[in-house]
Amino acid sequence: MTSQQHVPRFIPTLTEVVDPASLRTKADLDKTNQDALVERIQSELQTRMDQLVQQEFEQLLREVSGEYLQAMRLRLQHELRSMVRLAVSEYAQQNSASQGTDNEPRVFTDS
């Protein structure tokens, strides 16, 4: 037995007829879309980068100011110690020169 198949008159293909004018328009639209996309992404990234830079700057400022304050605190402690030693030494010299009976330095406070 012979089976007869019906062969379609038009066979679909993978080719498409393209009008060259439509290619330019589509390319221009794609370029416009790309530019808009680039602009939007850059804007979002710029905002995020500004935030990160601000955070990093604030952290650096805290670290540097903390280090500076610690160094200043140590310098002031050293200066205070030197001033107290000088004052005690001067008091001891004055006290030994006057040969007073009170050998203890007096500490005056506001309270």
pLDDT at 54 over 90: yes
pLDDT at 87 over 80: yes
Q: Give the whole-number percent of the chain exceeding pLDDT 70.
A: 67
Structure tokens that stand for 53 in this block:
């830079």
Specify the pTM. Answer: 0.41
Secondary structure letter of residue 99 according to DSSP: T
Which residue is it, tokens 């996309």? 37
DSSP assignment of 46-109: HHHHHHHHHHHHHHHHHHHHHHHHHHHHHHHHHHHHHHHHHHHHHHHHHHHHHT-S--SPP---
User: 67 pLDDT band (50/70/90 cuts)?
Assistant: very high
CB hemisphere CA count around 2 (13 angstroms): 2
